[in-house]
Chains A and B, each alone.
Chain A
């Protein structure tokens, strides 16, 4: 099926997204599909200093139409204001081995989904002329791309992301502390991870970001199988990240497992809320617009 045969918003569905190859294409389709569904254009500044005119596109705020130019030329032009370029978005992408997991019903692995989320955010941010930075981590910081708003930044980020391989264990707590020290300029920190680590250490790391006055958005990615535990027959669960193997009859263990997972999610959610961190739990079979909406809300909050 060609991408032309479907409307762009359908690419928000990970099942459709899975049919596309290339992170850039996926990011473009996600953002376009998302933007097409919005009533307001996200591509606008919020500064008071006039910068230039640009042609009206449907969805633009009519408040910024330059009626004088319309009177002279009979064409709609919008007044564009010089954007404040102090917005920096740090994308922290978990590339530990557990992110490789792809359940039987999931269209994408957690890592691929996370890459799509990060890429589409980068695409959106760069189109708003904001700066974006990317860090990949597992038990250490693997790659750190400095923040930039240049149009070539997207290429670089996509290149980094596509070159990742998930092989190692997670160590979120120390990594977050380290990054909080290294990311000195205030900005929006978007963490895309399954957070399968010690929750206390991880929350302590998040707190460090907040201490540095970053806005933090935690995108907690979980595979549907990890939430529903749909297994029926005796299964050998081969632990990723060298956690050992478990043979069990999953039906009898399902309730207890779900209880454990529920307790973990609750702890993370409560911890984030306590630190005024935007927490977003996302299943890898969910549409991606939720993530973008949450991000834009955070951005709008920051600019105001």
Chain B
């Protein structure tokens, strides 16, 4: 970036301290009115030498008229200048500061991805850097600079100790475009600490200015508490915001991409729903949307996106191989491209393995049947039934979901393994029964992060026909909406544990309830997985010993199969989320303990590779990676083989380019949005405060003198 500054182009904008005084500009008409009035008010004299007067008038009327206009213009200008001076104009220019008091200037440059918006050739960030560079290049020699980025993770790039202005400019020029959002609160913290000077520094820099170079996005600047924080900063420093944003900018973004099914298996059609949103007041017609699987385009559709609204598009794909697949939806490019593509990592299984732990051998029979109704055909779900005693020796990593049915109690080891399993994204559905020891379960409902969403209290025997779907709000109940004859509403439950949702467990949700209001199905997320607790039994083998009646005949009821499958779908729904992350968020996985195959290697979307040493441990290692600063697919491999993939997407909150109304900011913050074009480079904003009333008054005084001289000169021409 070559910084060449036309000094006049540096005066970028101005405002008025007392704008109301501008009303007095009407007084500028006074000289004209006085002139006209004096023409009407004349004295009369008789005159003999009219011939000479007429001759003089004939020869000089043009000159006299011109002189009168010149004097009139000067008098009008005098009034205008005086009124402008009274209105306390203040402008800011890049050149200000030369010869001013030594100033500590904190330059904050917005690097959030909305700054990648391109207007003509240059992005907003390029403009911001250019203006900031000009500010540094044109400032006084005694000034000091701190350069901070406004981003998710604000960074201080230049400190006060750096004195070489060319290297400061070089640092500014080198600021990279990030793909994250803007964390204003954290940035203001950084600015606040940068403004803290010790006594010696305060003597050295008597003034502190903060300059924000930003596109002034409403989402960023209207954040809660931002106004208050800015107001506090303004007590210690003069704050200016240079608006480099494009007014009325529009943007199309892919805001969501998700799989319609909770899991994907080989050979099955999987639907993907993408949501596009137009952030702008004009609808976007015929947007070409591409669907890519593992970087290869496999589908394309053209849709219209209404103004300020969503539009959905569905793609269906049948995976041929098991493993981790990267799916992407890419909309046609616009001026802000980062948010036009959205990625999703889909683990495709040959079959979904479900572990059913049965307290008694019969207890998981109906569950397994519900999950895989016809064992003769190749079902995408493969349930495996084990007894509760086998649980402790079973490796849980291969299972997407676990069902516990009438398991009497859980040992501490089992509890830990289950917790770890759910934390890592596994689904856990628990059906109770006559063998269940409530106290053992309730141990799981205690603590800071309880595994169970509810406590078991007493066992109730109260034959009830029917289930309250609670307005079908929960995803488990939602598919039954409009299907009242599916049997859900008539499901018979005779005996059940009364579940009590602890008040502190805010994430727990009732999915279904009994007619008397007691919960029947309660769900809660835990870690990256989900837990579903059913108050009654999942088999007919749990019986009320007083009368020999089963707890419930629900397993034989038509609603049992769909409910179990919805519970399964819900429980494994958290599975995909571990492979998706927002930019800046951590990637986490559990690396299997396998000493022999060398280090893991993470390949980033930008091609950089990071080696991840394997910890010396006999157990599976939780792993996480924080440097997700680029969107796309992160591939974790070992020895050339792909272990898993992660999709990192932008936060589309940043996609809304609407700008904040400057009036919503504290009055001390001066937001300027004037645009000038100089040498093809669009510049905007006001960088340093300068009041102009004194120069204006001097100019007015000079005009008075000039007017007197000219009036004398014109009069003298007569002499």
Which positions in A face B, CB cutoff 8 Å? 97-101, 110, 194, 196, 223, 226, 231, 233-241, 243-244, 246-249, 251-261, 264
Contacts and interface: CB of A to CB of B under 8 A. Distances in A.
Contacts of B714: 251-252
A196 B53 contact: no
Given A234-B39, A236-B45, A248-B57, A255 B717 contact: yes
Nearest to B58: A256
A252 B53 CA distance: 12
Interface in B18-48: 38-39, 41-48
A236 B42 contact: yes
B641 interface: no
B50 A254 contact: no
B48 A260 contact: no
A258 B48 CA distance: 14
A260 B50 CA distance: 11
B677 interface: no
Contacts of A244: 50, 54
Contact of A264 (B41, B52, B64): B52
Interface in B635-659: none
B715 A101 contact: no
Contact of A255 (B55, B57, B719): B719
Contact of B715 (A98, A99, A246, A251): A251
B718 A255 contact: yes
A248 B64 CA distance: 10
Nearest to B711: A251
In order of increasing CB-CB distance, the 4 nearest A-B pairs are A254-B718, A256-B56, A255-B718, A239-B50
Given A252-B68, A255-B719, A101 B56 contact: no
Contacts of A249: 64, 68
B206 interface: no
A237 B47 contact: yes
Nearest to A239: B50
Contacts of B41: 234
Contact of B50 (A223, A237, A253): A237
Nearest to A103: B45
Given A237-B50, A244-B50, A259-B56, A252 B715 contact: yes
B718 A252 contact: yes
Contacts of B38: 233-234
Given A253-B57, A261-B49, A233 B42 contact: yes
Contacts of B47: 101, 237-240, 246
A264 B717 CA distance: 20
A143 to B, nearest CB: 22
Contacts of A110: 48
Nearest to B38: A234
A44 B341 CA distance: 131
Contact of A254 (B42, B45, B67, B719): B719
Contacts of A243: 50-51, 54
Q: Which of B48, B51, B714, B718 has the most CB of A within 10 A?
A: B48
Given A252-B718, A253-B64, A235 B44 contact: yes
A98 B52 CA distance: 13
B712 to A, nearest CB: 10
A72 to B, nearest CB: 62
Contacts of A258: 718
16 contacts: A97-B48, A196-B51, A233-B42, A235-B44, A236-B42, A237-B47, A237-B53, A240-B46, A243-B51, A246-B50, A246-B54, A252-B718, A253-B60, A254-B715, A255-B717, A257-B56
B59 interface: yes
A23 to B, nearest CB: 22
Interface of B: 38-39, 41-57, 59-60, 64, 67-68, 714-715, 717-719
Contacts of A233: 38, 42-43
A240 B50 contact: yes
Given A240-B48, A244-B50, A257-B56, 11 more contacts: A196-B49, A233-B42, A234-B39, A234-B41, A241-B50, A249-B68, A251-B715, A253-B57, A255-B718, A256-B60, A264-B52
Contacts of A252: 60, 64, 67-68, 714-715, 718
Contact of B42 (A235, A240, A256): A235
Contacts of B715: 251-252, 254
Given A247-B42, A249-B64, A257 B52 contact: yes
Contacts of A99: 48
A249 B49 CA distance: 16
B42 A223 contact: no
A101 B41 CA distance: 23
Contacts of B719: 254-255
B43 to A, nearest CB: 5
Contacts of A196: 48-49, 51
A241 B45 CA distance: 14
Q: Which of B42, B44, B47 has the most CB of A within 10 A?
A: B47
B71 to A, nearest CB: 10
Contacts of B43: 233-236
Q: Which of A100, A237, A240 has the most CB of B within 10 A?
A: A237
Contacts of A254: 715, 718-719
Q: Which of B38, B39, B42, B59 has the most CB of A within 10 A?
A: B42
A256 B56 CA distance: 5
B529 to A, nearest CB: 96
A96 to B, nearest CB: 9
Contact of B52 (A223, A235, A261): A261
Contacts of A100: 46, 48
B219 to A, nearest CB: 65
Contacts of B718: 251-256, 258
A263 to B, nearest CB: 9
A279 to B, nearest CB: 18
Contacts of A260: 51-53, 55-56
A264 B51 CA distance: 11
Nearest to A244: B50
Nearest to A99: B48
A243 B714 CA distance: 28
Nearest to A101: B48
Contacts of A237: 45-47, 50, 53
A240 B291 CA distance: 101
A41 B155 CA distance: 117
A262 to B, nearest CB: 9
A253 B53 contact: yes
B58 to A, nearest CB: 9
Contacts of B51: 196, 243, 260
A226 to B, nearest CB: 5
A112 to B, nearest CB: 14
Contacts of A226: 48-49
Contacts of B45: 231, 235-238
A94 to B, nearest CB: 11
A98 B53 contact: no
A141 to B, nearest CB: 21
A260 B718 CA distance: 12
A240 B46 CA distance: 6
B717 to A, nearest CB: 5
